[in-house]
Amino acid sequence: MSESEKHKIEELTKKIEEHNYNYYVAAQPTIGDFEFDKLLEELIQLEKQYPEFLSPNSPTQRVGGQITKEFKNVKHKIPFLSLGNTYSEEELKDFDDRIKKALGNDSEYVCELKYDGVAIGLTYINGELVQAVTRGDGESGDDVTTNVKTIKSIPLKLRGHNYPKEFEIRGEIFMPLKVFEEINIEREKNEEPLMANPRNAAAGTLKMQDSAIVAQRSLDCFLYFMIGEDLPHTNHYDNLKVAKTWGFKISEHIKMAPEIMDVFNFINHWDEERNNLEFDIDGVVIKVNSYEQQRILGFTAKSPRWAIAYKFKTQRVSTILESIVYQVGRTGSITPVANLKPVSLAGTTVKRASLHNADIIEKLDVRVGDTVFVEKGGEIIPKIIGVDLSKRHEYSDKVIYATECPECRATLVRKEEEANHYCPNELGCPPQVKGKMEHFVGRKALNIDSLGAETIAQLYDAGLVKNVADIYNLKKEDVAKLERMAEKSVNNLFAGIEASKKIPFERVLYGIGIRHIGETTAKKLAYYFKNIDSLKNANLEQLLEVGDIGETTAKAILDYFSNEQTADIIKRLKESGLQFELSEDQLVNSSDKLKDVSFVVSGVFSKFSRDDLKKTIEQNGGKNVGSISAKTSYVIAGDNMGPEKHKKAEKLGIPIISEDDFINMIK
């Protein structure tokens, strides 16, 4: 029977990886998302039932869930050199002259786009991915294999059979522009700091400790250089074409260039067209095609002599700063925004740019009427990088930062440890009230999808809602009087409101909008305190005992529950029937057996996924910690536990237990 299931797992794995390739590499999907998810779910269940057949390179491992606290430094077998840069055609001609002087006229170039991301080296043995290492300092980099496995365009097992037994392929991991924009929209909505640009976002994501979050970020990867002893061809271009048949994502924008003029044509084309790509590039790379000629040309101490990068000039324009306005966010955070004289930049018309906070305005000494330099570079959101002082009017005045909320006229406050000013009138300031309601009804919270921003604004302006609790006191006849509120719309709205009463406690806790409480933190608090009253009555020390709760977050929770108005809102929401405690199903496996007991989870387990193991710890009152210290109660060790962690636990005398030992603890 088990052999039959093994065969089934292998066939299912092959089918899923084929669909992965079709979708993420070939861009020609053959099934829908629903059908794909059903196949993946079937494989997950089989691997749980038969863990002995779970491969480290199974497609189920792409969803992440493993935690990496320390990224091991690995020495590159062959140095990961950087390329020499040039910004001028003259220097490119000099490069071409040097090549011809060394090789004669018998040489040709390969032109490629220069991706703006994180350089990576992938090692394959017998067709399977065994290691992924960042460029680092060129001599050594960080092992990020666990996180790289979540990138669906990187094959875990190669297609075909004609690949070398062992080789390395190098490339660039990047964040697609659409993904970057979506993340920043979500962060702006939650009033979190925006990511500066896709390159930094990709680098930060690749070094995140939780691979499940990496999986959600939808990173992508182009591969562009192979290293190995038994490569099928003696030149760069043909090997990339073969690599494509093995399942690697090789850019379609690679071109042979027999002469330097062909290189210039390629550069000029992409200097114009780069704004139409779905990812960032910052130049073009030119390589000599023949490996033998590359060997003859050799290397300098830092760079290969057979390749060079032509960098595009940073996209920058100047325009007039016409005014500065102040926007109020959901949590009361004030953001100064520069209104600009419209100007074309990187294919779009720019009219506004964020000035972030008072410190940035002071640092730039930017003034209304100034001619300012606006840059996009790798950024999606334009930023003001400086002022043309030669054009400043002699009577210009320094900007005096707002002291009152532009919406409700409350006096702004600024805490010492924070960069932003805030409007303290959180329950009376219109943008804050509307923003809190939009957050509350959002998909990740109460999920009342028939109650969007426009409807909330209508209800608020009509005086029907002033806070989230009022949503549950709405009357159909009042709502029906509003514009664009037909009978079907009204019925959908009230059906959504009624359905929201079944949303579990952790999502309600996220939805009420306590500052600094995101989805993950809300879930931890819900499982730790079990109900809203226990959380409300917790003191600072008790809050700090919850994993990943720092002093700033703990104080925000205390401030929230000490406010009489918010206490009344919670009371009314309770009376309306919302879930403010864990359900019976959630409590079935819960207990206080592990109260005041902390665990470090390390390795691979057969009876739990790492996420399930950590969830079980929290459900039983325990605490997950990331690193071993003298305060750690136990280390739960699975297969392949890191030797350094094992050594540290033994040195500190921390008990190392198995997952079976853990199961006995909570029986």
d(CA 640, CA 66) in angstroms, rounded, equals: 12
d(CA 8, CA 96) in angstroms, rounded, equals: 56
Three-class secondary structure assignment of 70-97: CCCEEECCCCCCCCCEECCHHHHHHHHH
Q: Which of 6, 101, 114, 667 is catalytic?
A: 114
State the angle between helix axes of 198-206 and 177-189 in degrees (0 to 180), rounded to the nearest 10. 80
User: Helix, strand, coil: what percent of the chain each, to 5?
Assistant: 40, 20, 40
Please report which helix (H) or strand (E) contains residue 309, including its range: strand 307-311
* Matching residue, tokens 């109900």: 531
* Matching residue, tokens 């199974």: 58
| DSSP states along 102-117 | HHTT---EEEEEEE-S
607 is catalytic: no
CA distances from 580 to 94, 347, 480, 501, 572 (A): 71, 49, 30, 10, 12
**Which residues lie below 8 Å from residue 26, measured CB to CB, with a gap of 6+?**
none
Cα four-point dihedral sign 74, 79, 85, 89: negative
> Per-residue b/e over 480-517, b at no fewer than 16 CB within 10 Å?
eeeeebeeeebeebbebbeebeebebbbbbbbbbbbbb
The token pair at 608 is 């739990």
180, 256, 266: which is closest to 218 by C-alpha?
A: 180
Three-class secondary structure assignment of 181-220: HHHHHHHHHCCCCCCCCHHHHHHHHHCCCEHHHHHHCCCE
Q: Please calculate the CA angle 87-90-91 and round it to the nearest 5 degrees.
A: 60
* 112: phi then psi, degrees, rounded to nearest 5: -135, 160
Q: Please calculate the CA angle 208-212-218 and round it to the nearest 5 degrees.
A: 85
CB atoms within 10 A of CB 322: 14
d(CA 265, CA 281) in angstroms, rounded, equals: 17
CB atoms within 10 A of CB 449: 13
The token pair at 49 is 């039932």
Q: How far is CA 18 from the centre of its chain?
A: 26
| DSSP states along 450-516 | TS-HHHHHHHHHTTS-SSGGGGGG--HHHHHTSTT--HHHHHHHHHHHHHGGGS-HHHHHHHTT-TT
Catalytic positions: 114
